[in-house]
Structures are given as structure tokens and as C-alpha cells.
Chain A
Amino acid sequence: MNIPSDLKYTQNDEWIKADGNQGLIGITDYAQDQLSDIVFVEIVASIGEELKQGDTCATVESVKAAADVYLPASGKIIAVNDKLPDTPELINSDPYGESWLLKIELSNLGELNDLLDAAGYETLLKSKS
């Protein structure tokens, strides 16, 4: 399972890549593996919208299940990935790269400290298996 060391993780298998006060958000390799073939992505947050940590920001549906994606940290949505609705399979092939879901302007950098680092997330995954 690929768990890049430069990202932060949530208990619900989302990742966030912080760059200054901006954060790029997606779902993890483990999440895509559990969901299997992803057939539909709906980003339910719009640009300019202010959301809180834990708010639903997207829905990901696979041939097996449908899952909500929760925002790892509070902030204002500044970009959404327009490519995903047409090519949801990107999440399976490249969960940490081209298949980012949205970009936010972080409103509370402190929240990042509550998230798991790569080692912490790996431990979590071990306990799940």
C-alpha cells in the first residue's frame, strides 16, 4: 500500500497535502483499493464555499459501494478537479496525483496537527486488516 510521507491522513482515508495555507485533498490508495473500480465522482462543494473539517465535500461511487469524502481540514474551496466526473477511474490509477478532488485555502492550520502522519496512518491500516 502506497502511503506517501509528505501527506497528512484522516481516520476516514482522506489525504491532504499542505502547501503554505493551501491544501490539496484526495482519497488514499487504501480507500481506492477497498472501493475497487470507481465509476462516479461527485464533488458536492462549490468554489468559494467555506466548509468545516469533517463536512462532506464529495461522493465517490464504485461498483461495490458509495462513500462520502469528508474535508480533512476547514477552509474555503478554491479549486475542484473538473477531470474527475468524466474520468473517475483516475482515482484507481493515481490516487495521490491527478485524481485530487479539491483544493482549499486552510482557515485553521492548527487542525493539520490533529491528522495522522504517514507512520500513524500505516499503523491505522494495520489495525484495520
Chain B
Amino acid sequence: MYIPHTEKERDEMLRVIGIDQIADLFEDLPASHKFPSLNLPDRLTEMETLAELQSLSWMNESSQDLICFLGAGAYQHFIPSAVDSILRRGEFYTAYTPYQPEVSQGTLQAIFDYQSLITALTGMDVSNASHYDGATSTAEAVSMAIAHFRNKRSKVVVSPSLHPHYRETIRTYNHGGILEIVGDEDDADLLRGPESLYSHIDQKTALVIVQYPDFFGHVFDYTKLAEITHQAGSLLAIAVNPLALGLLKTPGDFGADIVTGEGQPLGIPLSFGGPYLGIFATRKEYIRKMAGRLVGETLDNRGQRAYVLTLTAREQHIRRERATSNICSNQALMVLASTIYMSLLGKHGLRQVSELCYHKAHYAAEKINSLKEFHLWSETPFFNEFVIKCPHPVDEINEYLLDYGVLGGYNLGNHYHKLNQHMLIAVTEMNTKDEIDSLVDLLAEVSND
């Protein structure tokens, strides 16, 4: 253990506070609680420890061992081997905060490239260097809107089909504050899309947040929502699945002011829930209110192209109480993974993956909908996820599927009491036709049981 103070320094500190030994600081603790018996197993050798941990880890069933139809915000996509091989280069793998541009050009350039790719994908002017995940970046959008209106607008309208975890994170961030969050009440109409939000938007509204495709996979045209939002002088945030943007109109085209999203589909493995990547992009006029880091391109004193952290010094570091957010960190390694992924696929590759997801999901939806007891919940256009009304509780169906090595869809009853017995099924380019057909067969068997 590294202890920075010398014996002499410790004695001096003890003398100053007027005690003889460090143990005196703990004399108020009952003796029986100072060093209680912890009842731990005997120590193990490294070899034994490894064996024990390995046997524990074998009890997991990962999405790689199963046929996966589970999505709900994180998706299993194919990741080219080059992603990991570039990512794990020592130069990238060890780099953390690139405060010193003279020794961090590679990391800074990678972040700059990421920002450029995200702005192209979302149709926005500027992207930050990322946040932790889709939930935190969406919560940061709320903080930014509140800061933009200098606390004079205190209402946020959230769509009930914004990811439930994102809504929870927004509430956690703003617990105890002035914020009023409306739109996602228990009795909210889940099928009307953005229209259900119009009546909530008024002069007190700082931000309106919707998801695209939404939590149920639906793709709505948000043009009118943007108009109504802007008429009230409010800002519009759209939380996206970035992969879907390979195919869909950009949020920038709708008139979004902020785009957030979960970047995991862009070359980041599911990894039991993280680390993921929080996308955050906005329009140029809000750049000063944007949280997080931003990398800019400039010229050095020899006229050479150079990259530096820019526009961040102000509030996050020297005036924390005035900052939009105190989160200065980003997901540099995940940023790099998504940058490599997007660069490898290119514009056309990304579109191809999106199209594969779209078509395979539609094939699956049609087949499942043709079963007697399973029905598509809505007719709204969707991307790669859709909701099926089931004849039995979703958890029971999933137990059955798991016996055949199939990871079924998400149980929407977990978050929406109205959607008890509704399953959210995700299909990606990874799902073969055979896999989809066997899911359909298994579902048919379930309903016959």
C-alpha cells in the first residue's frame, strides 16, 4: 500500500490535534464493532480464485450464446474485428483526459472525427465528445434547456414513449428542483405519438423530448411537433437510435434543437449493460450551453493542423456553480469504437445495415402477426422493433423460448401497466431467416400449449 505521509509527519499531525495515536480517533466506536469477525471463506490461491470466478461466469447466458430478439434500447449488431483491433492499440487504450494537446493529438483527432460523424448523422451543427450513455445525455438535454432559459421556464414535456430509463434518469437528475415533468402520465395515450404532447406545450415549456424511433420502435414525423414547440419558444430534443439514421430522415431536418441518443448500436458490444455511449448534438447557437467536452480544429504556431479541447474552460472548471452540468468526462474509448465502426461502414454501409434491420424486422413482424394468437399492437411505421400482443404473460413465453436457446423480447408490462402481455421484439442484421422462422414456430407452439 502506498502511504504518502511519513511517520514523522503523522506524529506531527497527531500532536497538532492533541492525541497520542491514530487509534484514539476511533475510541468512540464500541470495541465489538471495531474488528468484527467477518465470517469469510479461507483465502484462495490465484489459480483457485480464477477457477471459482470462471465457474461463476459460466452460469451467465450471454446474447452471443443465444438467438437474441431482445432490444429495448441496446442491440446486438455485428462488429467488424477491426474495431477491437484498432481500439486496443496501446496509444488509444491508455489515453484518458487529453488536456495536453501536445501529447494527445491522436486521441483529440479521433474525438474530432467522432463529432464530425455525429453531426453528419444527426443533421446538427455541433456534437460534444459524448456522455456516459443515452439516458445521461438525454438528462443533460434537460439541464441545457433549463440553463438556456436561465431557470425562467421550468416545464419539460416528455413523450411516454421515451425510453423509461431515460425518463427515470431525467427525474433523478432533477429531483428536488423546480422542474415540472409532464406528458408521460400513466394514462397517457401511447398510440397517438407526438399528437398527445401538443396540448402540454406552452410558454412555461423549456424542452419537449421525444424518441426516434421511439421506445416501441415507431417512426413518427416530428415536423409538426417541432413547429408547435418552436411557436411556444421552447426547444425540441430528439433521442435517437443512431443506426436508424442510416435510413431515416435526420432530426435536424425536423428542426430538432438537441439530439441525444444511445451510441451502443455503433460498434459497441452489449457487454451486460455497459460501457455505452451518450450522443449529444445541438445547433450552433446553443454551443455555449452545451455540457461536456468539445474538440476543435485549429492551427499551431507553425501553421500545422492541430486539435485542442475548446469552449470548455469556462464554467465546468472554474465556475462550477454556474455550469450547465458538472459532468466533464466522456466515453473516449466508446467514442473511438463508434468512430472506427462508422468509418469502416461508411455512409452506404450504415444504410445497408439499417435496411437489413428494417427488412428483417418487417419479415418477422408479418410472420408473427399471421399467428392466430399474436397480434401487432399498432400500424404505425416502425424501424427494427415492434410490439406484439401475446396470449400469455410475456415472462412465461420467454421462459419457454429460453429452453430452446432463444432470448425473447422485452416485457413492456415492466414499465407500462396498460401493456401487460405485450412484448417488444427487436430484430437486427444478426438474425438469420432461420432464426426468425424458429422464433415464429416456437411462439406458435407456446400458444398451442
Q: Which residues of A contact B (CB under 8 A)?
A: 40, 42, 44, 59, 61, 65-66, 68
Main secondary structure of the interface of A (DSSP, over half): strand
Q: Which of A42, A65, A68 contacts B288 (CB 8 A)?
A: A42
Chain B residues with CB below 8 A from A68, complex form: 322
Please tell me if the beta carbons of A65 and B150 are within 8 angstroms of each other in the complex: no
Interface centre among B150, B288, B314, B315 (most CB of A within 10 A): B314
B318 pairs with A66, CB closer than 8 A: yes
12 contacting pairs across A/B (C-beta < 8 A): A40-B288, A40-B314, A42-B288, A44-B150, A59-B322, A61-B314, A65-B318, A66-B314, A66-B315, A66-B318, A66-B319, A68-B322
Known A61-B314, A66-B319; further 9 A-B contacts with Cβ < 8 A: A40-B288, A40-B314, A42-B288, A59-B322, A65-B318, A66-B314, A66-B315, A66-B318, A68-B322
Mark interface residues in B295-336 (1 if CB within 8 Å of A CB, else 0): 000000000000000000011001100100000000000000
A44 to B151, CA, bound (A): 11
Report how far A23 CA is from B319 CA in the complex, Å: 29
A83 to chain B, nearest CB (A): 16
**A41 shortest CB reach to chain B, Å:** 10
Residues in A whose Cβ lies below 8 Å from that of B150:
44
Residues from chain B with a CB closer than 8 A to the CB of A42 are 288
Q: Total contacts A to B, CB within 8 angstroms?
A: 12
Chain B residues packing against A (C-beta within 8 Å): 150, 288, 314-315, 318-319, 322
Cα distance, A65 to B288, chains bound together (Å): 15
A69 to B322, CA, bound (A): 13
Closest to A67 in B: B319
Residues of B within 8 A of A59 (CB): 322
Query: A61: which B residues are within 8 A, CB to CB?
Result: 314
B328 to chain A, nearest CB (A): 15
Interfacial chain A residues near B318, Cβ < 8 Å: 65-66
Q: Which residues of B contact A65 (CB under 8 A)?
A: 318
Max count, chain B CB within 10 A of own CB: residue among A40, A42, A61, A65:
A61
Which 10 pairs show the lowest CB-CB distances between chains A and B? A66-B314, A61-B314, A66-B319, A44-B150, A66-B318, A40-B288, A66-B315, A42-B288, A65-B318, A40-B314
Q: Name the A residues within 8 Å of B315 (CB-CB).
A: 66
Measured CA separation A66–B318 after assembly (Å): 8
Query: Which of A40, A42, A66 lies at the interface centre, i.e. has the most chain B CB atoms within 10 A of its CB?
Result: A66
Bound: A59/B324 CA distance, A: 14
Q: Whole-angstrom distance between the alpha carbons of A73 and B319 in the complex?
A: 24
CB distance from B206 to the nearest CB of A (A): 15
Cα(A73)–Cα(B322), bound, Å: 23
Provide the residues of chain A in CB contact with B319, threshold 8 Å. Answer: 66
Chain A residue nearest in CB terms to B319 = A66
Residue in B closest to A44 when the chains form the complex, CB atoms: B150
How many whole Å from A40's CB to the nearest CB in chain B? 7
- Complex formed: what's the CA distance from A40 to B313 in Å? 12
Q: Which residues of A contact B288 (CB under 8 A)?
A: 40, 42
Rounded to whole Å, the gap between the CB of A116 and the closest CB of chain B is 26
Enumerate chain B residues within 8 angstroms of A66, measured Cβ to Cβ: 314-315, 318-319
Cα A44 to Cα B149 with chains together (Å): 9
In whole angstroms, what is the CA distance A116 to B128 when docked? 44
- A65 to B322 alpha-carbon distance, docked (Å): 14
In chain B, what residue has the closest Cβ to A42? B288
CB proximity of A107 to chain B, nearest CB, Å: 21
CB neighbours of A40 from chain B (8 A) = 288, 314
Residues of A within 8 A of B314 (CB): 40, 61, 66
Give the complex CA separation of A44 and B150 in angstroms: 8
> In angstroms, how far is the closest chain A Cβ from the Cβ of B365?
49
Q: How close is B153's CB to chain A, nearest CB, in angstroms?
A: 12
**Nearest chain A CB to B136's CB is how many angstroms away?**
25
Closest to A64 in B: B313
B309 to chain A, nearest CB (A): 14
Nearest B residue to A66 via CB reads: B314
Distance between B293 CB and nearest chain A CB, rounded to angstroms: 17
| Alpha-carbon separation in the docked complex, A59 to B322 (Å) | 10
A71 to B319, CA, bound (A): 19
Cα distance A28–B72 when bound, in Å?
A: 56
* A68 CB, nearest partner CB in chain B, Å: 8
User: Shortest distance in angstroms between A118's beta carbon and chain B's nearest beta carbon?
Assistant: 30
Interchain CA distance A73-B107 in the complex, whole Å: 49
Instruction: Please name the residue on chain A nearest to B311 by beta carbon.
Output: A40
